[in-house]
Structure 1
Amino acid sequence: MNASASLSPAQSIRIDKVKEHIGAIVTGIDLARPLDGATRKALYDAVVENVVLVIRGQDHLTPGQLQAAAEMFGELMEDQNRRYLVDGFPLISVLDNHHLDSKGQPAKVGANATWHTDHTNQELPPKFTMLYAVAVPDRGGGTAVCNARAGYEALPDELKRRIDGARTENTLISSARMKTANPDIVKAQRESTRPPTVHPLVRTHPETGTKALWFHKAKTERVSGLSPEETQEFLQELTDRITQPQYCYTHEYRKGDLLIIDDRASLHKAGFDYDHSQHRRLYRMLVRGDRPY
């Protein structure tokens, strides 16, 4: 299914759906140039409708232009990980496989990668996560996104009734996962005096009114009525149910791709199936959201 809309005389946008339940790719647009209100709305609506949107061909953007483009989708918020930022742009964080850990050694990335949505331990987690490809390996290293809205709709009615009204307690890292977690995150959690942030397990989308499973397994200490260990098992069961191939799209980046994920209706995870001697560098920006309900 294809869709197109007119921009200024010099630009013509094209939005192509990737799959029935998820994903669309935008071409024919330059985010370094001003966009009118109708075009901005078309892009915004395409993210909400398709859960994940890819805007191609933006490899010429400066960090300032990239941030300005991201701000068309809402107010940017700080990333929790403040260690790696673009110089002069504190709202743009850097994900890079050539980073070093706290001991000066190559960071071990990917060992604990799981399906998640971002920053569930915050009262106002992001509504959009944006990833901009600065350097990419020859193959692999994509970002996988699942439509947690479609996945929820397909759950058995009995399971829907079971999780209706369930709440999650969210921290930096679940106590059930501390043995295998990043030592820096474990240290921060143990030193934290902040109580868990409580959110619904099934979230209502504030713009569409639809429901979706919504959680970050690694950050969930408990689901209502379950122990930390039972919580991890139960969330894995839910993850397995909603990450069926028909609900998922894995985007393998080209340099200059801007990937936009509607965090309110999805889970995502990074791929580490690439030659780690090659460089993978993404810029990440987060658009502030509302309190989940």
Structure 2
Amino acid sequence: MRVKPLSPPFGAEIDDLDLARDLDDVTFAQIEQVFNERSVVLFRNQRITHARHVEFSRRFGELEIHVLREYVRPEHPEIYVLSNIIENGRPVGIKDAGNYWHTDLSYTQAPSRGSIMCAIEVPQKDGAPLGDTLFASTAAAYDALAPDMKAKLQGLQAIHRFWDRYIRERKAAGSDVLISEERRAGTPDVVHPIIRTHPHTGQKCIYVNEGFTVGIVGMPEDEGRGLLNELFAHCTKPEFVYRHQWRVGDLVMWDNCATLHRATVDYALPQRRLMQRTTLKGTAVF
């Protein structure tokens, strides 16, 4: 197994490893160490079944089943499908998901440890891939903060909410959105520290995102929004960002504590995109 960096502050590619084969404990421990240290890990040329995707993901811990149940695979509900493909008049997955900076499931009490996504179909134009994903290191962004800003943020808590963003996205796409009270009640607002400690490395990370963070506890709305916007801009500076160009067979896993990510929607049918993702359960933020 060979490891090479993807970008200076974070990210790694693991080469010469077939995830369709059984992994011994030593090899898996090496993968997990690279994941914890580098935050984003790429495996090229993978050909894995849905069952194998779930099996590999479970080596890292329990898996989430996404709140949007209509976009999970019935036979493997741990797999969340992202796609613009329509079959028999129905979408096979969620379209245009995550085209804003966010971290998966920050709106839950115990947010996701990480996500593992596999590229099945990648859109192209003139032979070049479309639908890139951008990743930003919130650990590197924290390290780059001025000491007075670190002191200011320590102890502050932010409010995270799911449905606001989802409803805005669906309406912008021209879809009717009806969210039952039961579904809303299943994802109430949650509060997390703005500066969190990585549960596996002890690193400090900035834990806010423009997708789901809506305010700061105890701070007037305008002041809180201003500080959040400042942090959003800081975390996504070019020096903290890696842009991934997908190829069919890519499997990418990312750390939802130490990174943000954003989809690039620069394609449309007949350019087809089909991705599937598992989501690792996490722990309470501290």
Query: Which TM-score tier does this pair reach, normalised by the shorter chain?
Result: 0.7 to 0.9
Tell me: CA distance 1:33–1:108, structure 2 relative to 1, closer, same or farther (3 Å): closer
Q: Give 2:148's aligned residue.
A: 158
- The question of whether the paired residues in 1 share the 8 Å contact of 2:3 and 2:13 is answered with yes
Deviates more, 1:129-138 or 1:214-223: 214-223
SS in 2 for 1:203: strand
Is 1:66 the counterpart of 2:53? The answer is: yes
- Give 1:186 deviation, angstroms: 7.4
SS in 1 for 2:145: coil
1:97-144 Cα shifts (integer Å, max 9, x gaps): 2259x998x97636x722111111211111011111010012221111
Q: Give 1:30's aligned residue.
A: 18
- The question of whether the paired residues in 2 share the 8 Å contact of 1:144 and 1:268 is answered with yes
Q: C-alpha distance in 2, partners of 1:33/1:292?
A: 34
Is 1:211 the counterpart of 2:198? The answer is: no
Q: Give 1:133's aligned residue.
A: 119
Percent identical pairs in the alignment equals 29
TM-score normalized by the length of structure 1? 0.85
Q: Which amino acid aligns with 1:21?
A: P
- Give 1:171 deviation, angstroms: 1.9
Q: Give 2:160's aligned residue.
A: 170
Q: Which amino acid aligns with 1:187?
A: I
Q: C-alpha distance in 2, partners of 1:150/1:181?
A: 29
Deviates more, 1:273-282 or 1:201-210: 273-282
Tell me: CA distance 1:230–1:135, structure 2 relative to 1, closer, same or farther (3 Å): farther
Uncovered stretches (5+) of structure 2, i.e. residues with no partner: none
Is 1:261 the counterpart of 2:264? The answer is: no
CA RMSD for the aligned pairs? 2.6
Give the paired residue count: 275
Uncovered stretches (5+) of structure 1, i.e. residues with no partner: 1-12
- The question of whether the paired residues in 2 share the 8 Å contact of 1:171 and 1:189 is answered with no
Q: Which amino acid aligns with 1:116?
A: H
- The question of whether the paired residues in 2 share the 8 Å contact of 1:173 and 1:189 is answered with no
Q: Give 2:215's aligned residue.
A: 222
- Give 1:168 deviation, angstroms: 1.3
- Give 1:179 deviation, angstroms: 7.9
Q: C-alpha distance in 1, partners of 2:208/2:280?
A: 18
Structure 1 runs (4+) deviating above 6 angstroms are: none
Q: Give 1:142's aligned residue.
A: 132
Tell me: CA distance 1:228–1:160, structure 2 relative to 1, closer, same or farther (3 Å): same
Tell me: CA distance 1:266–1:189, structure 2 relative to 1, closer, same or farther (3 Å): farther
Tell me: CA distance 1:88–1:180, structure 2 relative to 1, closer, same or farther (3 Å): closer
- The question of whether the paired residues in 2 share the 8 Å contact of 1:141 and 1:274 is answered with yes
Is 1:109 the counterpart of 2:101? The answer is: no
Q: Give 1:82's aligned residue.
A: 69
Q: Give 2:179's aligned residue.
A: 187
Q: C-alpha distance in 2, partners of 1:71/1:178?
A: 28
Q: C-alpha distance in 2, partners of 1:159/1:168?
A: 16
Tell me: CA distance 1:107–1:228, structure 2 relative to 1, closer, same or farther (3 Å): farther
Tell me: CA distance 1:129–1:108, structure 2 relative to 1, closer, same or farther (3 Å): closer
- Give 1:95 deviation, angstroms: 0.2
1:188-212 Cα shifts (integer Å, max 9, x gaps): 5797346421111111001111110
- Give 1:276 deviation, angstroms: 4.4
Is 1:120 the counterpart of 2:106? The answer is: yes
Q: C-alpha distance in 1, partners of 2:231/2:270?
A: 34
Tell me: CA distance 1:108–1:281, structure 2 relative to 1, closer, same or farther (3 Å): closer
Is 1:42 the counterpart of 2:30? The answer is: yes
Q: C-alpha distance in 2, partners of 1:103/1:283?
A: 17
Q: Which amino acid aligns with 1:278?
A: Q
TM-score normalized by the length of structure 2? 0.87
SS in 1 for 2:136: strand
Q: Which amino acid aligns with 2:3?
A: I
Q: Give 1:55's aligned residue.
A: 43
Q: C-alpha distance in 1, partners of 2:160/2:177?
A: 14
Tell me: CA distance 1:78–1:159, structure 2 relative to 1, closer, same or farther (3 Å): same
Q: Give 2:267's aligned residue.
A: 274
Selected match of 1:91 from 72, 75, 78: 78
Q: C-alpha distance in 2, partners of 1:116/1:33?
A: 32
